Chain A
């Protein structure tokens, strides 16, 4: 894995922790804010409850009071309940005559088994919706004189003058009902005049009938008392009153007081309301007595206390405050409840609800800011690290390339040692300086090794020259022929051999340097080889030279004279080691890949074959190292193996490869030179 990639991965892991940590922090802050909000709401609820403690009179109400709900939309009197649906759960049973919302299941039971009533107030009218269960609806018939000889609804009220008045609502069919003011016995009308101020519509339902009606609030006395009763009649020819169910208890003829949301309570708590919180005041019968502020959702929550916060209200009505969080429509509400006390008796509860939207939106904004900041930071760090690591990698690569470029394939220094970043104070600068120092030492050693042959030559050749000339002078002074003095001749031969050794060593030591100065050009190796072999035949008439291959048209890139020098070495070797009267074969062919059996057009191969002594397989690989010779040549000259070393260097200079193998037919040795073709 690359340095930069590692750095980025490691830093990314740590960077990714940032948003997580931020989330944890924001979560804690949110919890803390919500807790603070809960406490604040709890205190608000407590404060309102304390204030309302002083207004205990406002809660004093008959338990049989009929609660009149406020309603937003207008009501169309048509006998259908589509305008009343939002208060579907608020019907009270006429069986007992008073609301008993504490037991929800009992309401449902009574509704299903008897008649129920719902009262609302809109503007200057009081609206009532009465559902009656009746399997056999009996309408009024003119044959019967008494008004109570058909199914009907009774309305009793105290008028503005405090007089108790009775009205009967009945129908001859579905549709608008007839309303008459009647005597105490509900049988006879008082005036026979239809009461137009009370307007109602009768509609049959699957299980009985519904009656929707309205009456002006101005008809009611100041303390607003009324009661509804439903009378069921049966009989075909003779009609009998079967039952009467009423809003007031059967054993009492007292009318039910009407209970509206308290304007007085609203006035008291209005100033305590926060702008975005809603306050509900609920009496001990769970009737909402006041609603202040808040949004639509909160208002409906107040109205639906029994359904949504039943346990909360129950707890508060039991005497202890509580704060709870409610999920409503994807939003969270914090609702605090606190009981309102009169002495030790709980007379109601205050609900303060607030939407946590603000807190949550703050949290979301904070989180968003953190995420954006993290992303920007991440991008910045990523690009910084990327740039930094790229820069580091670039510097390291540059150092590597320049350090590698200083030394050629043979380990010689090609240029002066100048490495990048050597003046830099960081680790790479230090590395560069260490490299430079190491290379300097290596260079010094290499230069020493390179100068050794020259120094050696100079130091050896001068005494050798002295010996040689002394021998020659001695011979000349004594005027003797060379072959007459065996000792003198042996000494002179030794001197010549020393000269050859030194000369070979110098050539080998200098070959790379000399090659580096050679010019390279395209030339025809086939033509060169053909001509070279012809020249060999002239120069060495005792040896039989064979050439096989193209005579022209095979071009390579290199220095032709150096290749001739190489061929000279191979030719000399071949002649030296060839058996008498044997052939020395020069062969030019396209390179063949023996493993794949395919011809390789990108290179040419020159083979020089001679018949003679084989080379042990074990020493074949060391032949090009120099100073190694494994065959006894027939010539008198010393064999240091330096010729092959020089030939190898020339082959390498041409991008080629020199290889010596024993011939497959085991008759001699084959030298192959593979050269890249143009």
Chain B
């Protein structure tokens, strides 16, 4: 234990998925499912062995359990390490910890998805595939955007958004948002009418997100706007449905 347990090299085009999970049975089931879908899989059972391996080379996507044996927050630490190495690396938490606070914390660390056990393998595989697509698209878009970054600046009322650089300004003041919060804001301003919770969940590129998680994200977004504008009232709650951006 504490070492890279299995490493499979196939065709160079195959994506590498790393799994950090302390339960050997669950880990082997993930490996089976992923390999069956033509991914190369590297697996680790604790934080240290994972980080040692990531020091040498980063995989294309990482699946993390939060509690790694007695290392109860090991998954979070690995995620933090990975975000420092490569902010665009997709990270998915697969965990039994379903508390709101854990979810928010995990997402704020930069994870792309936070799924609670039991996991739907079908859904997981679809998400992984879509993340690879997004990643690829983002890379292509980034190359194009570098050429004409200013074209990507979107202005809605007093709000200015640079989608490529994920920067946001309210009345000329910059609002620093997390990627998840930025995605929610984009979803709100893209639509004239109210946006349902389900749409917002989809926009966050996350799986089984509960209403309260979105509510918490909205709360954080409002707070950040109110720091620069105490009278900020542009995000209206549509009770029982979702939210709406009013200031157009």
Contact residues in B for A498 (Cβ distance below 8 Å): 118
Interface hit among B27-35, B164-172, B227-235: B27-35
Report Cα–Cα, A498/B122, bound state, in Å: 19
Contact residues in A for B238 (Cβ distance below 8 Å): 531, 535
Contact residues in A for B116 (Cβ distance below 8 Å): 461, 503
A522-568 with Cβ < 8 A to chain B: 528-529, 531-536, 538-539, 560-561, 564-565, 567-568
Interface hit among B94-102, B105-113, B144-152: B94-102
Of A476, A498, A510, A571, most buried by chain B (CB within 10 Å of CB) is A476
Question: Which of B97, B118, B122, B240 meets A465, CB within 8 Å?
Answer: B118
Nearest chain A CB to B75 CB, angstrom units: 13
Nearest chain A CB to B98 CB, angstrom units: 6
Question: Which of B98, B212, B239 meets A560, CB within 8 Å?
Answer: B239
Report Cα–Cα, A571/B29, bound state, in Å: 39
Contact in complex: A561, B215 (CB < 8 Å): yes
Contact in complex: A476, B36 (CB < 8 Å): yes
B78 at the interface (CB under 8 A from A): no
Contact in complex: A465, B119 (CB < 8 Å): yes
> What is the number of contacts between chain A and chain B, taking CB atoms within 8 Å?
97
Nearest chain A CB to B205 CB, angstrom units: 22
Report Cα–Cα, A477/B30, bound state, in Å: 13
Report Cα–Cα, A468/B116, bound state, in Å: 13
Contact in complex: B118, A469 (CB < 8 Å): yes
Report Cα–Cα, A466/B67, bound state, in Å: 16
Report Cα–Cα, A565/B237, bound state, in Å: 13
Nearest chain A CB to B218 CB, angstrom units: 9
Contact in complex: A476, B100 (CB < 8 Å): no
Question: Which of B96, B122, B239, B240 meets A462, CB within 8 Å?
Answer: B96
Contact in complex: B121, A514 (CB < 8 Å): no
Contact in complex: B240, A539 (CB < 8 Å): yes
Contact in complex: A536, B240 (CB < 8 Å): yes
| Given A506-B99, A514-B100, A531:B26 Cβ within 8 A | no
Contact in complex: B23, A473 (CB < 8 Å): no
B18-62 with Cβ < 8 A to chain A: 23, 25-26, 29-30, 32-33, 36
Contact in complex: B23, A462 (CB < 8 Å): yes
A472 at the interface (CB under 8 A from B): yes
A457 at the interface (CB under 8 A from B): yes
How many residues on B have C-beta within 8 angstroms of the other chain's C-beta atoms?
30
Nearest-neighbor residue (CB-CB) of B36 within chain A: A476
Contact in complex: B98, A495 (CB < 8 Å): no
Nearest chain B CB to A421 CB, angstrom units: 36
Report Cα–Cα, A567/B240, bound state, in Å: 9
Contact in complex: B29, A466 (CB < 8 Å): yes
Contact in complex: A531, B239 (CB < 8 Å): yes
B120 at the interface (CB under 8 A from A): yes
Contact in complex: A472, B33 (CB < 8 Å): yes
Contact residues in B for A514 (Cβ distance below 8 Å): 100
Contact in complex: A473, B26 (CB < 8 Å): no
Contact in complex: A473, B32 (CB < 8 Å): yes
Q: Mark A327-348, 1 if CB is under 8 A from B, else 0.
A: 0000000000000000000000
Contact in complex: A503, B98 (CB < 8 Å): yes
Contact in complex: A531, B240 (CB < 8 Å): yes
B9 at the interface (CB under 8 A from A): no
Q: Mark A174-211, 1 if CB is under 8 A from B, else 0.
A: 00000000000000000000000000000000000000
Contact residues in A for B33 (Cβ distance below 8 Å): 469, 472-473, 476
Nearest-neighbor residue (CB-CB) of B218 within chain A: A561
Contact in complex: B121, A469 (CB < 8 Å): yes
A631 at the interface (CB under 8 A from B): no
A164 at the interface (CB under 8 A from B): no
Report Cα–Cα, A567/B126, bound state, in Å: 34
Question: Which of B25, B98, B122, B241 meets A457, CB within 8 Å?
Answer: B98
Nearest chain A CB to B95 CB, angstrom units: 9
Nearest chain B CB to A35 CB, angstrom units: 94
Contact in complex: A473, B121 (CB < 8 Å): yes
Report Cα–Cα, A465/B98, bound state, in Å: 14
| Given A472-B33, A473-B33, A565-B212, A499:B240 Cβ within 8 A | no
B117 at the interface (CB under 8 A from A): yes
Contact residues in A for B237 (Cβ distance below 8 Å): 560-561
Report Cα–Cα, A499/B208, bound state, in Å: 13
| Given A473-B32, A476-B33, A510:B117 Cβ within 8 A | no
Q: Mark A456-487, 1 if CB is under 8 A from B, else 0.
A: 01100110111111101100110000000000
Report Cα–Cα, A498/B116, bound state, in Å: 13
Nearest-neighbor residue (CB-CB) of B33 within chain A: A473
Question: Which of A462, A528, A564 meets B117, CB within 8 Å?
Answer: A462
Nearest chain A CB to B244 CB, angstrom units: 11
Report Cα–Cα, A503/B99, bound state, in Å: 9
Nearest-neighbor residue (CB-CB) of A472 within chain B: B121
Report Cα–Cα, A360/B237, bound state, in Å: 95
Q: Mark A484-513, 1 if CB is under 8 A from B, else 0.
A: 000000000001101100010010001000
Report Cα–Cα, A637/B120, bound state, in Å: 18
Question: Which of A495, A533, A564 meets B118, CB within 8 Å?
Answer: A495
Contact in complex: B98, A464 (CB < 8 Å): no
Contact residues in B for A567 (Cβ distance below 8 Å): 239-240
Nearest chain B CB to A472 CB, angstrom units: 4
Nearest-neighbor residue (CB-CB) of A467 within chain B: B118
Report Cα–Cα, A461/B66, bound state, in Å: 13
Contact in complex: B25, A506 (CB < 8 Å): no
Question: Which of B23, B67, B118, B212 meets A468, CB within 8 Å?
Answer: B118
Question: Which of A462, A495, A503, A506 meets B26, CB within 8 Å?
Answer: A462
Report Cα–Cα, A535/B100, bound state, in Å: 25
Report Cα–Cα, A454/B101, bound state, in Å: 13
Contact in complex: A535, B241 (CB < 8 Å): yes
Contact residues in A for B23 (Cβ distance below 8 Å): 462, 466
Report Cα–Cα, A568/B29, bound state, in Å: 37
Contact residues in B for A470 (Cβ distance below 8 Å): 29
Contact in complex: B121, A476 (CB < 8 Å): yes
Report Cα–Cα, A296/B19, bound state, in Å: 127
Report Cα–Cα, A657/B232, bound state, in Å: 33
Contact residues in B for A568 (Cβ distance below 8 Å): 211, 240
| A contacts, CB < 8 Å to B | 454, 457-458, 461-462, 464-470, 472-473, 476-477, 495-496, 498-499, 503, 506, 510, 514, 519, 528-529, 531-536, 538-539, 560-561, 564-565, 567-568, 571
Can you pick out 21 interface pairs between chain A and chain B where the beta carbons lie within 8 Å of each other?
Answer: A461-B116, A461-B118, A465-B26, A465-B118, A465-B119, A468-B120, A469-B118, A469-B119, A470-B29, A472-B33, A476-B121, A477-B36, A499-B118, A514-B100, A538-B241, A560-B237, A564-B239, A564-B240, A565-B211, A567-B239, A568-B211
Q: Which 9 A-B pairs have the closest CB atoms?
A: A535-B240, A461-B96, A468-B118, A535-B241, A465-B117, A532-B240, A469-B29, A532-B239, A472-B121
| B contacts, CB < 8 Å to A | 23, 25-26, 29-30, 32-33, 36, 67, 96-100, 116-122, 211-212, 215, 219, 237-241
20 extra interface residue pairs, beta carbon distance < 8 Å, beyond A466-B23, A473-B121, A519-B219? A458-B67, A458-B96, A461-B117, A461-B118, A462-B117, A466-B25, A468-B117, A469-B30, A469-B33, A472-B121, A472-B122, A503-B116, A506-B98, A510-B100, A536-B240, A538-B241, A561-B215, A564-B239, A567-B240, A568-B211
